[in-house]
Amino acid sequence: MAAWSSPPSLRHLLLLRPRLPLSPTCLAGSFSRRHIHSRCRLFSSAASSSTLTHGDAASTHGDADGVVDVNPPRGTRDFPPEDMRLRTWLFDQFREVSRLMAFEEVDFPVLESEALFIRKAGEEITQQLYNFEDKGGRRVVLRPEITPSLARLVIKQGKSVSLPLKWFTIGQCWRYERMTRGRRREHYQWNMDIFGVPKVRAEAELLHAIVLLFQRLGITSSDVGIRVSSRKVLQAVLTMYSIPEHLFTEVCVIVDKLGKMTREEIEKELISTGLSSEAVHGIIDVLSLKSLSKLEEVLGSGVEAVADLKKLFSFAEQYGYADWICFDASVVRGLAYYTGIVFEAFDREGKLRAICGGGRYDRLLSTFGSEDIPACGFGFGDAVIVELLKEKGLLPDMSRQIDDIVFPLDEELEGAASSIASSLRKKGRSVDLVEDKRLKWVFKHAERINASRLILVGNSEWERGMVRVKILSTREEFEVKAGELE
């Protein structure tokens, strides 16, 4: 990091107004009046003697003037304390639901082998990778999703683990894509996955977890719904029209755009794959169905997709979340590895993109050269749910909260204050030890951080082994023996 030779006053000004485009000429003070930008005048007196040390231009990532852009890269986020408190709270909700569902937590590197994510052609995600060659000549990628990493770990663990596996993780994902509300180029994602359960009981459990989370956040079934379908529906339709198996993945990717593109545009893309007009119209007609009974009329009751869906909706009644889910044949999900039940949660007002989504992927492991294990899971991002909570006025109060402030009234009592702070921290209390401030500032600081108590260490009290305690919510004030503070 480059060293600054400018006086503190200038440095503080730069920190306060980091985006002002100050040129090296302006900072050095060797400028003429006709070249001064109006914003540069703010710093002219303080900057007159300042210079940038040698190498600053090479060590910064900023504009041509050498000024660092303090904003994070486009599409990414900083997490200052107030945002970090919200993120921690949300992640705690993810973890608590996972605990209630008896899932174990796992984690993986955010940097993965590129081969994990480029095995399926046609997926939109393959065009959004942050991929590059590392210094060892290996092709790597910042993971765009978590499921392939999970599959890799399952393969690596092999027979050392017994099935079924119920794992969850909370990890960061990266996609270079167009940004909209609730969509960034990086996000954190809660994944829950079950390996080794071939029946739709696994999907029913996952949907229960999602509903549990919504309920814990104060969201109701009138706010959010979960659309459910099956990839086997589309497979049955393709079979009806004798469409070759190798076109299945490509058709899935195209029809996943239903609702995002016009019907005419979807039909044009499907015809370009070589499908007949009759088949295209048949596919879109079936995928427009919103009734499971209507689907059964079209495909017949003996079709596996219908049987799976009817069983899932029966489970939903038994779990008590039937009012949260609805059948929608257009849900196919854009990832090629899904093989059965698929689902996605949506806000009923239609203001946001999908809140979460997932499904069954029984044949993913074989694409990595391993024996397949039946599996299903979902990904639940952090961005859209926060937007929804804002929309519904359900965000909790994320104000900072501290148990105690310890403040020595004299310099010679700093050691005593340190001892008191240490003792309280060992007892599990959060303590802010404040020194070299006026008492008026300390009271304002206590209010800012919502401190419960102010503990004053004064000479007269300390000589008697006492400290003065002020309960800030009630303004009650009393003395207590320093060794008896709790």
Q: Which residue ranges make up the annotated binding site for L-histidine?
A: 145-147, 175, 189, 193, 333, 337-338
At residue 8's C-alpha, the angle toward residues 52 and 440, to 5°, is 160
Question: C-alpha 432: how far from its chain's center?
Answer: 30
Look-up: residue for tokens 């979960």? Answer: 226
| Residue among 437, 429, 390 nearest 409 (CA) | 437
CA-CA distances (angstroms) from residue 445 to 105, 141, 264? 38, 45, 62
Q: Cα–Cα distance between 371 and 194 in angstroms, integer?
A: 16
Q: How many CB atoms lie within 10 A of CB 440?
A: 8
Which amino acids are annotated as binding site, given as ranges? Answer: 145-147, 175, 189, 193, 333, 337-338
Q: Are 252 and 376 in contact (CB under 8 A)?
A: no
| Residue among 182, 126, 77, 161 nearest 337 (CA) | 126
3-state SS record for 13-60: HHHHCCCCCCCHHHHHCCCCHHHCCHHHHHHHHHHCCCCECCCHHHHC
- 148: which 2 tokens? 């392939």
Q: What is the dihedral of CA 306, 304, 311, 167, to 10 degrees?
A: -120
Task: List for the chain the helix, strand, coil content (%; round to 5).
Answer: 45, 20, 40
Q: Are 42 and 20 in contact (CB under 8 A)?
A: yes
